Every structure is written in structure tokens, then in C-alpha cells.
């Protein structure tokens, strides 16, 4: 056993995040750590990687009892962690970020840039990533940043590598590069602890599984001995009903039409969006798929008025031709809402409570004579907390302390409260556990049944298959193909999403 | 630890500045018998009123994740403008016509001037995306220069008894500036707690991008915050001018630091999104009492500054350690 946890417990403000957990991680294996959000996975990994030095219980590492005081201690002893949250410094370059805190120096004490660059290049090549090494990280996409986090962890030879949802933002092809790396690591005797919600990845990669629920160990075992349904049942602790899709589209009335929308890159001479045309009917769920950089997010942001500069093309919303919206304020007033991709940086004010977050976009309707009506605000909040089954101690709980799934529901509630005619969702279930995912799908369907036009952008095909009526595939800023969901196959969609070589 | 213990602990934390103030008063009262005299206490309150006006505006700015370094200069400029309208017999030449300006008119013009300079701050910050620190640092210099130009470097004095009564007078046994500071405070508490605008300020300070995506007109709200800060600085300037019956071109120098100190002692986070008006008011009172106490105890002016700075540091360190778990 390379790592053994003995009776680990950890509390936050009197609430148990982990209770009496004992797990053994064998050397040279890939162990999938699974559980719903809030099950205690991240807490466990933070203990293992030295972020939380104060816990009860014992940590045995290579047979010796240890207690890491800070992340650096764990790193120096050979435990690397790739966090789900990005920890890069935006205006430092790719190389500088990779070597942050471990800079190489020449005999004179100056930074050895050539050497660092050479090593960085090799690392990125292993990840099949070509980047300008001197470009600041702020210019990179989320997925690329995540790969750089991975490169950072690979820089040091480690005996244990912890990966916390490493694929939540990267594209299919990058996922395969990551698989290869994980297999390499395993072959060289490294233990990989792999946290993920994606069953496909778990069954592809893992040798063993560990399931946590509500801070307690449910079961540890060989992956070969279980199937997907069993794992899901262990995670949620209750059997999930089969969720069947109902194509509930009944109307042909178009609520949103885009014709020849084009958008140029603000700095480079390139098109972010190239002659995009599509229409959305009332009550329809339209899925948009594409690899990273295909222009999906840019499309949603343009429609929502976030891009500032006027885009070319024609726009019809709710039966009226209008210019593209110039601000989120205008879009929301007209009835177009966007649930953004990154709930922490774009969706929520983390320091505010659930109620204030939820009511933020509809405060003007809660005023009487310029004074906010507390009672109405409370009622509104309660209504959505009940409807979306948001789990919070009360509506004055800080939203930052909720689990990912509940945070996402708060964002969703905030925009549903504006009573939109069209709801756009960018990666609505990123980093959310299976059960909350199902709930969010149900909600989206419910909205469509009620007559909303819904656009869902996702990089997870199963997700789109599960909810969309119709699929658009984007590549290089263009719409390359359209499918009816029941006629689409995974192969055909990927074919349409891949750029021409 | 259960919920009620947590709530109790939280309440205790909120009381801490009050306890600190009480202890401070106790120590001063032990060593100086003049401190608790009504004359002295009212005098301290009168002085604090000006800082409260400025600090309340500063609190709004800081909660919105900004900073306003120009308040001291705006204070001087607004004071000078008001004074000049008053001292010229309340008449000004416009196209050869003489318009008479009442004291109320002169005060309004001064406040509008403060608002105008604040608006320029807000415009530069939102439209050109200049950092608030830099934009208001520039305004600190500009407004001071404008004050010098307006006054030609000389004080403007003899402003009339009506006007002087504002700074030195009493109403129902309480100095008028204290009434004004109380009104400003009450209004600000109301705005921050009970209006959309207040909520928007917290949201913008907490996460500007999320606020924008929620349909908040971020630039408009931010600009208005700087306008209000400028207007409240002008109110402070008018109070100072009235108390001295004279507008000094170098009035308000360093007042921005006292205001920021009051905000910080009051527990408002400089990174925005968190803070309370009442905390700031307490902070201003603590600074005022401390200033007064150090003088009464005969501490040398040089040591006074050291003590003041140390108090600010201690306040921030205590606040930090309490919010550590929330990062």
C-alpha cells in the first residue's frame, strides 16, 4: 500500500465533511474516487495533499505515519495533485506557470529559460498540446489551462498523482492524450487517484473504485466486479429511476432566429463566428455540440449581448427583427437568459447568500416605491428553492458554501425568475454529480414543456442525447451539420465536429 | 459547535469594535478629567461628523471594490466654491447679469460640484477602465489644483452668520453637524439594506462579472457610487468651511486616509463585497476619540501618528483572523 488512510475525520464549523474514513491505495493502480458533490472527495484529497493539516486520524504514506503541514510537504514527498479549480496565475506565461515555485536556475542564479522551455515543450508534447510557451495564460482557453495544470503536476516525478475531474473542460481528443498519460504513469508504478463523475472514463481507466457518500466510505473494490448502475446506486444510496426522454415539442412557432451571424476575432484576423444561421422553436430543446474553440460559447455570448461590439447578421426574437442585444440587461429585459458556463466566476456572487443571489436579476420587480420588499423576496426565493429542490440550510446561507449542484440550481433559479422566453445554458452540468444532473435535466425539460425555447451547449454527447430534440454541430465558428437527436450517432457527430485537416 | 453558539460568536464579533471603543474611552477618562466633560464630548462629535460624511461615501466605494483617494481635495474644492459664492455678497456676474445666491443655493452648488468631480471619477473608471486607485489619485491632484486656482491660494473668509451657524450651531441640544452626520448615516444604512441600488453595490463588489450577467448596469451603478462619494465629501467640505467660517485652500489634506481608516476599522473588506455602514461610523468614532484622547493626554503629535497607525493595523489583523475560514 502506498497510501493508507486510517479513521480519518474532518469537520468544518461542527459539520462532518469526513467521518471515520479508512481507505488503502495500492501502488501502481488507478483508483477511481467517486461520490456526489459534497460526499467528501475534495476534502479527502486536500488532506492527502497537505491543504488541511488539521484532521483526526492517521495517514500512512509508504508505511510511515505522516501529517503534511502544507501542500509543498506533500509535493516534496511525491504526492502531486491536479485541482479541479484552476490555480494558474493569469498574466504569467505558460512556462512560468508550469515552473512556478520550482524554477530552474543557472549556476549564476539567473533563471534558466532555455532549459525550462525545453522541458515545458516536452511535457506539453506528451499532452499533445502545442502552445506559444511565452503567451500569458490569460489568453488561453479553460481546457488548455486545465492541461497546463496537468503538465505542472507531471513536472515532478510523483508516486501518487491525484486528478480532480481533470476532463471537466477538455475536449474528446485531449481526453485520449490524458488516458495515455495515465497509463504511462501506471506502468511506471505511480498510483493515480482519479476523481470523476464520468462513468465512461472510470470504466476505461480505473482498476479499483472507492465510493464516498455523505463523508463516509460506502465501499471499495475492483472495478471489474461492478457495473455502472451499481456504482451509481452506491453513490446516491437509492435506485435511480430510468429517465426517459419525451419529445415534447408541439409547436412550430419560431421564438428565435439567427441569420448569417458573423463575428471577427477582436485581435487576430480570424472569424470567431462565420455565417451562423439557425432557428429555435417554442418548447424546443436545441443542443449545440462542438470541440473546444468551435465558437459555442462565443455564439451564446453574442446572443446575450456580452460581446459588446455589434455582430453582423440578422436577428429575430419573439417574432420581431431587432439588432443583436447590446448588453445582458437588454437581453434579459427582452426575455433571453444565459446560464453561464462557469458558475463561480460568472454565475454567482459567492460571498452573498442564497436569497440575494437568487433575486439579483429581478430586484426591480420586488420594489415598492423604491424600497425592497423583504417578504416578497423571501417568497420568491422559497418558491424557487422548493421548485428546484435547492438544498440549503436556509436562504441566508452563503452560496459559496453550497455543493456544486445546488450552486448551479441557484444560478438556474436566478435566470428562471426573469421569466425568459428563451433560456440558453452553457455546460449546465459541468462538475455536478449524477443525481443533481438528472434533476437539472428534468428542470430543463419542464421548462421546454412550458413553452420555453431552450439552447443547451455541451461537450458531453450523452448529455445532449439525453435532453435535446435537435442537435447542431459547430466547428471553427461554423455550423457544420444538423441532426435530429433520434437519428444522430456519436460517430457522425464527432465527424462533423472535427476540423478539416 | 452548534448553530446558536455560532450565532452568539458572530454577535460577539460584531460587538468587538463597540467594546474597543468603550475600553478606549475608559482609559482616556482615567487619565484625563476633561475627556468626559460635555463641552469636550460635543466638540469631539462635531469633529467626527465631517469624517463620518466622507467615510460613508468611502464605504460605498470600497464595498463596490473601488477606492476614492480624491475625497480630501473634493472637500476643499466644494468648500471653496460654496465660500466664494457666499463671500461675494451672494452675487455673481453672468453675462453682465447679477444673480443672487442664497446660502442654501451656495451649499447646493458646492454639493453639485462635488458630485460633478465624482462623476468624472466614475466616468474615467468605467468608460476608460482606469483603475480606481489611479483615477482618483489623479483627481486628488486635479481637484487640489482647481481649489488653488479658485482661491488663488488665499482663504475665503467672513461668510455670514447664517452659514457659520451650520457648523457651530445647535439644534435640540445637539450640534448641527452631528444631526447632518446622523442623517447621512441613516440614509446610507437605508440605501444599503433596503434598496436595489445598495444590493447592486454589494453584488458588483462581490463579483462584477456575475453582476453584469445578471442584467445589472454595472457602469451606471459604479459611476453613481463615485458621484455620491464626491457629494458626501462636498458636504464634509461645507461643514468644515462653516465651522471655521473660512474656506482654506489646503483644507481636507489627508482626510482620505482617515476615511479609509474608518472604513477598514469598521470591518469593511478592501477587496469589496462586504461591509456595513454602521461599522464605518464606529470606526470614525474610534479614530475621533483616539485623536482627542491623545491630545488630552499630552502625547506628542509625532507619537500620535504612530499610535493611530498601530490601531488601524491591529483592527485589520483582528478582522482578518476572524474571516480566515472564509478566505
Q: How many Å apart are CA A461 and CA A246, to the nearest integer?
A: 18
Please name every residue paired with A56 in a beta bridge, in sequence order, or none if there are none: A9
Put simply, whether the predicted model's pTM sits higher than 0.90 gets the answer: no
What pLDDT is attached to residue B9? 67
Cβ of residue B169 closer than 8 Å to a chain A Cβ:
no
Interface of A with B in 364-403 (CB under 8 A): 364, 367, 370-372, 398, 400
| Closest B-chain CA to A332 | B215
Q: How many Å apart are CA B133 and CA B12, to the nearest integer?
A: 34
Q: How many Å apart are CA B292 and CA B308, to the nearest integer?
A: 11
Our measurement of the distance from residue B85's CA atom to the centroid of its chain's CA atoms, rounded to an integer in Å, reads 24
Cβ of residue A326 closer than 8 Å to a chain B Cβ:
no
What pLDDT is attached to residue A238? 54
Residue A308 has pLDDT above 80, yes or no: no
Which CATH number belongs to the domain containing residue B157 in this structure?
Answer: 1.10.3470
| Closest B-chain CA to A342 | B210
| Closest A-chain CA to B216 | A329
Q: Model confidence over B302-315: pLDDT tens digits? A: 898 898 889 888 88
Q: How many Å apart are CA A368 and CA A168, to the nearest integer?
A: 44
Name the pLDDT band for A245 (thresholds 50, 70, 90).
low
CB contact under 8 A, A345 and B206: no
Fold match, A3-236 / A254-335+420-497: yes
CB contact under 8 A, A346 and B210: yes
Per the structure, the complete domain to which residue B39 belongs is given by 19-326
pLDDT, mean of residues B1-29: 73
What percent of chain A is modeled with pLDDT above 90? 26
What pLDDT is attached to residue A125? 85
Q: Lowest mean pLDDT of A39-43, A196-200, B81-85, B318-322, name the range.
A: B318-322
Q: Where are the domains of chain A?
A: 3-236, 254-335+420-497
Strand, helix or coil at B313?
helix
B268 or B59, greater pLDDT: B59
Q: How many Å apart are CA A332 and CA A362, to the nearest integer?
A: 10
CB contact under 8 A, B1 and A418: no
Q: Are A226 and A49 within 8 A, CB to CB?
A: no
pLDDT, mean of residues B58-77: 95
DSSP E strands in B217-274: the ranges are 246-247
pLDDT, mean of residues B173-186: 93
| A230 contacts: CB under 8 Å, gap ≥ 6 | none
**Distance, first Cα to last Cα, chain A:** 46
Q: Model confidence over A331-362: pLDDT tens digits? A: 999 999 999 988 888 999 998 999 999 999 99
What pLDDT is attached to residue B271? 87
Q: How many Å apart are CA A498 and CA A1, to the nearest integer?
A: 43
Q: Are A433 and A35 within 8 A, CB to CB?
A: yes
Q: Model confidence over A431-453: pLDDT tens digits? A: 777 778 888 898 998 889 888 99
User: For chain B, what is the radius of gyration of the CA atoms?
Assistant: 20
Residue spans of alpha helices (H) in B35-160 = 38-63, 71-87, 103-127, 132-151
What pLDDT is attached to residue B94? 62
Cβ of residue B216 closer than 8 Å to a chain A Cβ:
yes
What percent of chain B is modeled with pLDDT above 70? 90
Q: Tell me what percent of chain B is helix, strand and coil, each rounded to the nearest 5.
A: 75, 5, 20
Tell me if B278 is assigned to some domain: yes
> Considering only CB atoms, which chain A residues are within 8 Å of B209?
345-346
CB contact under 8 A, A351 and B273: yes
Average pLDDT, chain A: 85
Cβ of residue A348 closer than 8 Å to a chain B Cβ:
yes
Q: How many Å apart are CA A402 and CA A412, to the nearest integer?
A: 14
> Considering only CB atoms, which chain A residues are within 8 Å of B200?
363
Q: What is the CATH number of domain A3-236?
A: 3.40.50.300
CB contact under 8 A, B213 and A367: no
Min Cα distance B279 → chain A (Å) is: 18
Q: Model confidence over B93-115: pLDDT tens digits? A: 666 666 667 888 889 999 999 99
CB contact under 8 A, A349 and B207: yes
Cβ of residue A51 closer than 8 Å to a chain B Cβ:
no
Q: Are B150 and B77 within 8 A, CB to CB?
A: yes
Which of A13, A328, A398 is opposite residue B215, by nearest beta carbon? Answer: A328
Residue B326 has pLDDT above 60, yes or no: no
Q: Model confidence over A56-106: pLDDT tens digits? A: 999 999 889 999 998 888 888 889 888 877 778 888 888 888 888 888 888
Quote the longest CA-to-CA distance of chain A.
Answer: 74
Tell me if B159 is assigned to some domain: yes
Residue A244 has pLDDT above 50, yes or no: no
pLDDT, mean of residues A395-415: 88
Min Cα distance A364 → chain B (Å) is: 7
DSSP character at residue B89: T
CB contact under 8 A, A14 and B1: yes
Residue B159 has pLDDT above 80, yes or no: no
> Considering only CB atoms, which chain A residues are within 8 Å of B196?
363-364, 367, 370, 372
Q: Which grid coordinates belong to A18? A: 469526513
Q: How many Å apart are CA A310 and CA A17, to the nearest integer?
A: 48
Residue A241 has pLDDT above 50, yes or no: no
Which of B6, B210, B215 is opposite residue A332, by nearest beta carbon? Answer: B215
Q: Is A52 exposed, middle or buried (0-12, 13-18, 19+ CB in 10 A)?
A: middle
Cβ of residue B203 closer than 8 Å to a chain A Cβ:
yes
Q: Are A471 and A488 within 8 A, CB to CB?
A: yes
Other CB atoms within 10 Å distance of the CB of residue B85: 25
Residue B175 has pLDDT above 80, yes or no: yes
DSSP B25-62: HHHHHHH-TTTTSHHHHHHHHHHHHHHHHHHHHHHHHH
> Considering only CB atoms, which chain A residues are within 8 Å of B326?
351, 398, 400
Cβ of residue A349 closer than 8 Å to a chain B Cβ:
yes
Tell me if B60 is assigned to some domain: yes
Residue A247 has pLDDT above 60, yes or no: no
Residue spans of alpha helices (H) in A363-483 = 374-387, 404-416, 434-449, 461-467
Residue B89 has pLDDT above 60, yes or no: no
Min Cα distance A34 → chain B (Å) is: 26
Residue A173 has pLDDT above 90, yes or no: no
**Residues A170/A402/A352/B262 CA torsion (nearest 10 deg):** -100
Tell me if B10 is assigned to some domain: no
Q: Which grid coordinates belong to A364? A: 426591480
Tell me if B66 is assigned to some domain: yes
Number of domain units in chain B: 1
Name the pLDDT band for A13 (thresholds 50, 70, 90).
low
Q: Model confidence over A206-219: pLDDT tens digits? A: 999 999 887 889 98
CB contact under 8 A, A352 and B273: yes
Our measurement of the distance from residue B140's CA atom to the centroid of its chain's CA atoms, rounded to an integer in Å, reads 15
Secondary-structure class of domain A254-335+420-497 per CATH = alpha beta
CB contact under 8 A, B325 and A13: yes
Min Cα distance A500 → chain B (Å) is: 35
Cβ of residue A138 closer than 8 Å to a chain B Cβ:
no
Tell me if B292 is assigned to some domain: yes
Q: Are B250 and B150 within 8 A, CB to CB?
A: no
Q: Model confidence over B227-283: pLDDT tens digits? A: 999 999 999 999 999 998 888 999 988 899 999 999 998 888 888 888 899 999 999
Residue A2 has pLDDT above 90, yes or no: no
DSSP A190-239: -EEEEE-S-HHHHHHH-SEEEEEETTEEEEEEEGGG--HHHHHHHHHSSP
What pLDDT is attached to residue A413? 94
Our measurement of the distance from residue A390's CA atom to the centroid of its chain's CA atoms, rounded to an integer in Å, reads 19
Amino acid at each position: 500500500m502506498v497510501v493508507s488512510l486510517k479513521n480519518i475525520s474532518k469537520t468544518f464549523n461542527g459539520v462532518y465533511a469526513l467521518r471515520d474514513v479508512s481507505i488503502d491505495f495500492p501502488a501502481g493502480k488507478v483508483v477511481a474516487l467517486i461520490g456526489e458533490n459534497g460526499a467528501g472527495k475534495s476534502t479527502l484529497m486536500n488532506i492527502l495533499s497537505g491543504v488541511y493539516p488539521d484532521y483526526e486520524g492517521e495517514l500512512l504514506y509508504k508505511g510511515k505515519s505522516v501529517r503534511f503541514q502544507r501542500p509543498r510537504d506533500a509535493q516534496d514527498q511525491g504526492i502531486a495533485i491536479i485541482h479541479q479549480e484552476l490555480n494558474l496565475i493569469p498574466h504569467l506565461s505558460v512556462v512560468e506557470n508550469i515552473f512556478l515555485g520550482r524554477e530552474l536556475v543557472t549556476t549564476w542564479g539567473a533563471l534558466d529559460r532555455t532549459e525550462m522551455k525545453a522541458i515545458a515543450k516536452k511535457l506539453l508534447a506528451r499532452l499533445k498540446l502545442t502552445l506559444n510557451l511565452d503567451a500569458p495564460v490569460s489568453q488561453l482557453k479553460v481546457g488548455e489551462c486545465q492541461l497546463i495544470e496537468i503538465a505542472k503536476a507531471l513536472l515532478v516525478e510523483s508516486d501518487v498523482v491525484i486528478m480532480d475531474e481533470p476532463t471537466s473542460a477538455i475536449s474528446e481528443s485531449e481526453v485520449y492524450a490524458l488516458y495515455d498519460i495515465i497509463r504511462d504513469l501506471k506502468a511506471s508504478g505511480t498510483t493515480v487517484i482519479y476523481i470523476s463523475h464520468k462513468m465512461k472514463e472510470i470504466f476505461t481507466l480505473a482498476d479499483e473504485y472507492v465510493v464516498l457518500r455523505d463523508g463516509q466510505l460506502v465501499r471499495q473494490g475492483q472495478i471489474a466486479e461492478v457495473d455502472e448502475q451499481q456504482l451509481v446506486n452506491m453513490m446516491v444510496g437509492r435506485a435511480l429511476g430510468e429517465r426517459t426522454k419525451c419529445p415534447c415539442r408541439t409547436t412550430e412557432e419560431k421564438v428565435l432566429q439567427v441569420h448569417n451571424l458573423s463575428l471577427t476575432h477582436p485581435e487576430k484576423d480570424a472569424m470567431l463566428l462565420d455565417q451562423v444561421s439557425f432557428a429555435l422553436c417554442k418548447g424546443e430543446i436545441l443542443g449545440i455540440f462542438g470541440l473546444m474553440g468551435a465558437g459555442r460559447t462565443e455564439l451564446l455570448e453574442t446572443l446575450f449581448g456580452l460581446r459588446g461590439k455589434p455582430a453582423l447578421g440578422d436577428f429575430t426574437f419573439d417574432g420581431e427583427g431587432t439588432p443583436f442585444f447590446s448588453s445582458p440587461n437588454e437581453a434579459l429585459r427582452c426575455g433571453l437568459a444565459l446560464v453561464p458556463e462557469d458558475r463561480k466566476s460568472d454565475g454567482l456572487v459567492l460571498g452573498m447568500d442564497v436569497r440575494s443571489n437568487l433575486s439579483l436579476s429581478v430586484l426591480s420587480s420586488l420594489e415598492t416605491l423604491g424600497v425592497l420588499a423583504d417578504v416578497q423576496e423571501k417568497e420568491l426565493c422559497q418558491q424557487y428553492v422548493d421548485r428546484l429542490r435547492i438544498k440549503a440550510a436556509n436562504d441566508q446561507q452563503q452560496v459559496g458554501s453550497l455543493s456544486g449542484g445546488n450552486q448551479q440550481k441557484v444560478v438556474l433559479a436566478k435566470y428562471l425568475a426573469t421569466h425568459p422566453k428563451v433560456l440558453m445554458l452553457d455546460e449546465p452540468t459541468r462538475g455536478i454529480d449524477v443525481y443533481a444532473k438528472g434533476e437539472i435535466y428534468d428542470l430543463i425539460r419542464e421548462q421546454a414543456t412550458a413553452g420555453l425555447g431552450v439552447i443547451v451547449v455541451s461537450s458531453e454527447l450523452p448529455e445532449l442525447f439525453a435532453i435535446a430534440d435537435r442537435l447542431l454541430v459547430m466547428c471553427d465558428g461554423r455550423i457544420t451539420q444538423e441532426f435530429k437527436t433520434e437519428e444522430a450517432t456519436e460517430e457522425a457527430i464527432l465527424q462533423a465536429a472535427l476540423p478539416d485537416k | 459547535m452548534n448553530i446558536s453558539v455560532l450565532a452568539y460568536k458572530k454577535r460577539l464579533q460584531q460587538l468587538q469594535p463597540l467594546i474597543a471603543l468603550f475600553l478606549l474611552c475608559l482609559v482616556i477618562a482615567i487619565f484625563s478629567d476633561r475627556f468626559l466633560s460635555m463641552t469636550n464630548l460635543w466638540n469631539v462629535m462635531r469633529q467626527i461628523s465631517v469624517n463620518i460624511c466622507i467615510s460613508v461615501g468611502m464605504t460605498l466605494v470600497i464595498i463596490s471594490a473601488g477606492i476614492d483617494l480624491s475625497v480630501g481635495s473634493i472637500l476643499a474644492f466644494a468648500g471653496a466654491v460654496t465660500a466664494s459664492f457666499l463671500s461675494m455678497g451672494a452675487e455673481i456676474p453672468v453675462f453682465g447679469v447679477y444673480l443672487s445666491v442664497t446660502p442654501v443655493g451656495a451649499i447646493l452648488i458646492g454639493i453639485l460640484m462635488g458630485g460633478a468631480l465624482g462623476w468624472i471619477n466614475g466616468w474615467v473608471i468605467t468608460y476608460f477602465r482606469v483603475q480606481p486607485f489611479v483615477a482618483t489619485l489623479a483627481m486628488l491632484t486635479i481637484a487640489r489644483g482647481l481649489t488653488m486656482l479658485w482661491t488663488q491660494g488665499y482663504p475665503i473668509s467672513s461668510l455670514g452668520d447664517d452659514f457659520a451657524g451650520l457648523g457651530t450651531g445647535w439644534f435640540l441640544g445637539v450640534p448641527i453637524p452631528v444631526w447632518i452626520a446622523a442623517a447621512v448615516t441613516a440614509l446610507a444604512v437605508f440605501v444599503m439594506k433596503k434598496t436595489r441600488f445598495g444590493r447592486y453595490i454589494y453584488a458588483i463588489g462581490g463579483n462584477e462579472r456575475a453582476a453584469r450577467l445578471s442584467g445589472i448596469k454595472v457602469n451606471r451603478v459604479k459611476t453613481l457610487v463615485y458621484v455620491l462619494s464626491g457629494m458626501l465629501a462636498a458636504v464634509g467640505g461645507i461643514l468644515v468651511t462653516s465651522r471655521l467660517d473660512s474656506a482654506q485652500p489646503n483644507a481636507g489634506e489627508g482626510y482620505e486616509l482617515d476615511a479609509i481608516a474608518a472604513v477598514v476599522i469598521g470591518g469593511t473588506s478592501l477587496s469589496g463585497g462586504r461591509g456595513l455602514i454602521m461599522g464605518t461610523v464606529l470606526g470614525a468614532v474610534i479614530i475621533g476619540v483616539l485623536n482627542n484622547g491623545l491630545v488630552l493626554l499630552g502625547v506628542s503629535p509625532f507619537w500620535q501618528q504612530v499610535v493611530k497607525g498601530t490601531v488601524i493595523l491591529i483592527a485589520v489583523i483582528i478582522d482578518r483572523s476572524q474571516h480566515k475560514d472564509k478566505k
